[in-house]
């Protein structure tokens, strides 16, 4: 059992939802994000759910790469060992390229991919030293294809996360380190709260339960909720562009 779990981007959305599910399961949690006041509120909520667990809180801006390494090492010192790290922090700002929103597109690219590299580096330094651990990255169903408008850069970063995770998994395949890439479908969160029409969307608690259940099995890849996304992910790869355009 993975007892000690680190979750980045835990102050809201999927990170918060996963933390709640793990608290119910009796896992110790190390939660980090930029908004520490929300983390403290979440800590109180988690301890109310299960007073027998340990909850550690630290401020972290994942785009401050030196801080990523510092915070992960501090969490290891807090907990003694880290059994699972969930690279969850991300954002969805952006617009069609060429429409004047380079700054937003660049911010999404740096947060979702470059910062993910830093988190994976920091995690694997610890796991290689421990000779154990479970790295989980949060990609997206959008990794299957390119998308238009606000999803153009977002989908590209998630495809990169999926590829990065696969490469890491191949690299550590003869070690006790396990690697999982989670591809959530449309789950209600702060990233998509302003989107009005989204197919097959589920509430945050439903989606997070599915994510936690899937990652507990430690597969190489999972698509959640399993229905319809385990099928849709494969279908999307062969859909014509005209159909993909309807998703964004």
Q: Which burial class, exposed, middle or buried, applies to 110 when counting CB atoms under 10 A from its CB (0-12, 13-18, 19+)?
A: middle
Instruction: List the beta bridge partners of residue 7.
Output: 31, 86
CB count within 10 Å of CB 129 equals 11
CA 245 – CA 243 distance, rounded (Å): 5
Is 154 labeled as catalytic in the residue annotation?
yes
Phi/psi at 32 (nearest 5 deg)? -145, 150
What are the distances in angstroms from CA 121 to CA 83, 85, 87, 193, 246? 15, 11, 11, 31, 36
pLDDT of residue 191: 56
Structure tokens at 154: 């977002």
Contact call for residues 158 and 197 (beta carbons, < 8 A): no
Q: Where are the domains of the chain?
A: 4-247
Closest to 190 measured CA to CA, from 170, 208, 204:
204
Count CB-CB contacts under 10 A for residue 166: 15
Kindly give, in sequence order, each residue whose CB lies less than 8 Å from that of residue 213, ignoring residues fewer than 6 positions away: none
Per-residue pLDDT of the chain (248 residues; tens, 9 = 90+): 999 999 999 999 999 999 999 999 999 999 999 999 999 999 999 999 999 999 999 999 999 999 999 999 999 999 999 999 999 999 999 999 999 999 999 999 999 999 999 999 999 999 999 999 999 999 999 999 999 999 999 999 999 999 999 999 999 999 999 999 999 998 887 654 555 566 777 899 999 999 999 999 999 999 999 999 999 999 999 999 998 888 76
Strand partners, 28: 4
Distance CA(224)–CA(74), nearest Å, equals 31
Residue 198 has a pLDDT of 67
Let me know: does 17 contact 40? Beta carbons within 8 Å.
no
Task: Name residue 66's beta-bridge partners.
Answer: none
In the chain, count of helices (H) and strands (E)? 9, 7
Can you name the residues that pair with 187 across neighbouring β-strands?
202
Q: Residue 220 in contact with residue 182, Cβ under 8 Å?
A: no
Q: What is the pLDDT of residue 157?
A: 98
The pLDDT of residue 197: 61
**What would the CATH number be for the domain defined by 4-247?**
3.40.50.720
Which of these is catalytic: 56, 101, 154, 233?
Answer: 154
């Amino acid at each position: 059992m993975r007892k000690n779990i680190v979750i980045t981007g835990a102050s809201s959305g999927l990170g918060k939802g996963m933390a709640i599910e793990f608290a119910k399961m009796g896992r110790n949690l190390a939660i980090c994000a930029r908004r520490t006041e929300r983390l403290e509120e979440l800590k109180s909520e988690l301890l109310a759910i299960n007073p027998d667990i340990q909850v550690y809180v630290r401020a972290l801006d994942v785009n401050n790469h030196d801080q990523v390494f510092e915070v992960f090492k501090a969490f290891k010192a807090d907990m003694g060992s880290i059994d699972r790290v969930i690279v969850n922090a991300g954002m969805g700002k952006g617009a069609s390229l060429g429409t004047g929103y380079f700054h937003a597109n660049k911010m999404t690219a740096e947060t979702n991919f470059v910062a993910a590299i830093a988190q994976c580096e920091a995690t694997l330094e610890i796991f290689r030293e421990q000779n154990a651990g479970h790295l989980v990255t949060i990609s997206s169903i959008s990794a299957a294809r390119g998308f238009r408008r606000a999803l153009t850069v977002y989908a590209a970063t998630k495809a990169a996360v999926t590829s990065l995770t696969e490469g890491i998994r191949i690299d550590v395949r003869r070690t006790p380190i396990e690697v999982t890439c989670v591809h959530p479908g449309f789950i209600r969160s702060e990233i998509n709260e302003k989107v009005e029409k989204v197919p097959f969307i589920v509430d945050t608690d439903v989606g997070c339960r599915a994510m936690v259940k899937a990652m507990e099995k430690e597969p190489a890849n999972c698509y959640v909720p399993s229905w319809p996304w385990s099928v849709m992910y494969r279908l999307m790869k062969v859909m014509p562009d005209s159909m993909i355009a309807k998703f964004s």
